[in-house]
Structure 1
């Protein structure tokens, strides 16, 4: 069955330690440790599946025990892995994060296998299974910044992506600058937070709206900028910037919130929502997610 959307990037195990306590460097506190499927591409795909879409991931997953478990878990969550690159010699990637009452304390993302696989993960887009250079994929693609800067540069110029609706998200502020080759792509929508936007523009914008204006001035076709519980903005070249404030909620988790925002926004637009409505819907979905609402 042809997927509704392709999610390209990291699919790995999220190992998250959470505590209700306020934490600092060196804190040793009781809490809970979970292991769940994660990664930017996977978080987006899971949210899309909950909204009723059929997402498929293009990623690298090892042929180790952890990889087999991950593929099985993806299937249970409605995320297809039929086109994933399964490596014999690369281990399955993993993300480890620590969260306290005051947010994300620290995290390490080991996406080395995804980086080592390189353009092998894109083969289904060129060998006819999902498209080719002559007949490229026509639907939406969610692209995450865990890919190498070289591969992202190739994607920006590749005919394989010339007809796609590209939705692009950095994996973290530390990898935001990898997205610079895609900044001026005419079919790309960038989803970034304020810190990531400022890294891309090299300007100290104080608000999401200011950051969106700066990104548009740098040649972006379309951007969405979030800023935690503060005002978020959506900007389009030639159409200006709109802003909205997310609902105020008690924050119980943060890892995956940006991915939920992106997925909810994409789904709202697929249903025909106008700019302001799609932005509001995405902010509400992200707020529900960080509050721990089990339905989010």
Structure 2
């Protein structure tokens, strides 16, 4: 779907009887343009008929962090204890939220469970996420909390040099809140969780989920430890090198090490492992013994923040399409490559068409 079609669907989910002229006025386009977009959505099977009855679609439930990213970047080497000229920008972020936005831009029904403060950052986050096509109706807006904030500094290579996160509000996303969304959990086609969640929340999710696959993002070498008791319940795990070493206790310096680490995770019950190694590419492995490696995509890095979330979104998208992991990963890697080339945490023009075009150009 195009970005405009995603915007129209997001409005129609909330207001299925909205007149076309009002829809046009809200979007700042002509009524005839709205009619054309709606015709395209009907041809794609996303709208079934009059009254804008939306097609029932399997959805992904994402549970975890949503925060405001404050990113500083400089073309010069960062100097400790000194001020460095550069650029600073704010954009919506958070691992679960980023994956949800990418999934929505790829045409999936993504629903986000998170908590934000009733402040400027929180309201901006929900509005921007909704505009990107994510269903945020079940997110909580808390008047007595500050919205999560993630501050990162990036040097000339685009990679993160240091970061600080303030995510205390996620302690409020506990079992008592999640219990109100039990039906959402059980009817999802897939669950995506991140390790920003408190340990008791992870325990509740694994205890109450149905049979759907769980995709887990490790977030950091510190927070990934929260997953240790639940590895047997995870369908797909996506750690980087440091996170994989922290969880397994095994060294990871080369490809041979990667396969030993993969075998360790499979022995714990993880069905699929996608090991991100930065410039070393991606190693992947399944518990049935199939495995492989993809070289890193050649792309000029503008901003490395969000690339891993785009990779996970591509993997989940492939699962929903019924693709094998081997088939999903080139698509997922293209999602990450496009995001690396964008100044924003999430590529604003990500779509299946953009990914397919990138793959064709880099075949």
Structure with the higher strand share, 1 or 2: 1
Both structures adopt the same fold (TM-score exceeding 0.5): yes
In structure 2, the residue matched to 1:181 is: 229
What is the total number of aligned residue pairs between the two structures?
287
User: Using the alignment, how far apart are the partners of 1:109 and 1:291 within structure 2?
Assistant: 24
In structure 1, the residue matched to 2:261 is: 211
Uncovered stretches (5+) of structure 1, i.e. residues with no partner: none
In structure 2, the residue matched to 1:292 is: 342
**Structure 1 138/47 Cα, relative in aligned 2: closer, same or farther at 3 Å?**
closer
Give the number of the structure whose alpha-carbon radius of gyration is greater.
2
Find the partner of 2:103 among 48, 63, 81: 48
User: Using the alignment, how far apart are the partners of 1:222 and 1:277 within structure 2?
Assistant: 13
**Structure 1 230/274 Cα, relative in aligned 2: closer, same or farther at 3 Å?**
same
**Structure 1 286/211 Cα, relative in aligned 2: closer, same or farther at 3 Å?**
farther
User: Using the alignment, how far apart are the partners of 1:234 and 1:162 within structure 2?
Assistant: 26
User: Using the alignment, how far apart are the partners of 2:144 and 2:87 within structure 1?
Assistant: 32
TM-score (norm 1): 0.89
In structure 2, the residue matched to 1:17 is: 72
CA deviations over 1:101-154 (Å, ceiling 9, x no partner): 24211111111001233224423432x4x25xxxx2341111011011232233
SS at match of 1:34: strand
Tell me by how many angstroms 1:65 deviates.
3.1
SS at match of 1:183: helix
Q: Confirm or deny that 1:221 pairs with 2:271.
A: yes
TM-score (norm 2): 0.73
What is the aligned-residue RMSD (CA, Å)?
A: 2.1
**Structure 1 53/114 Cα, relative in aligned 2: closer, same or farther at 3 Å?**
same
8 Å Cα contact 1:101-1:252 kept in structure 2? no
Structure with the higher helix share, 1 or 2: 2
User: Using the alignment, how far apart are the partners of 2:225 and 2:138 within structure 1?
Assistant: 28
CA deviations over 1:149-193 (Å, ceiling 9, x no partner): 23223323x12x1322211002222212111122111x5211111
Q: Confirm or deny that 1:111 pairs with 2:172.
A: no
8 Å Cα contact 1:59-1:121 kept in structure 2? no
8 Å Cα contact 1:125-1:137 kept in structure 2? no
User: Using the alignment, how far apart are the partners of 2:194 and 2:298 within structure 1?
Assistant: 27
User: Using the alignment, how far apart are the partners of 1:163 and 1:124 within structure 2?
Assistant: 19
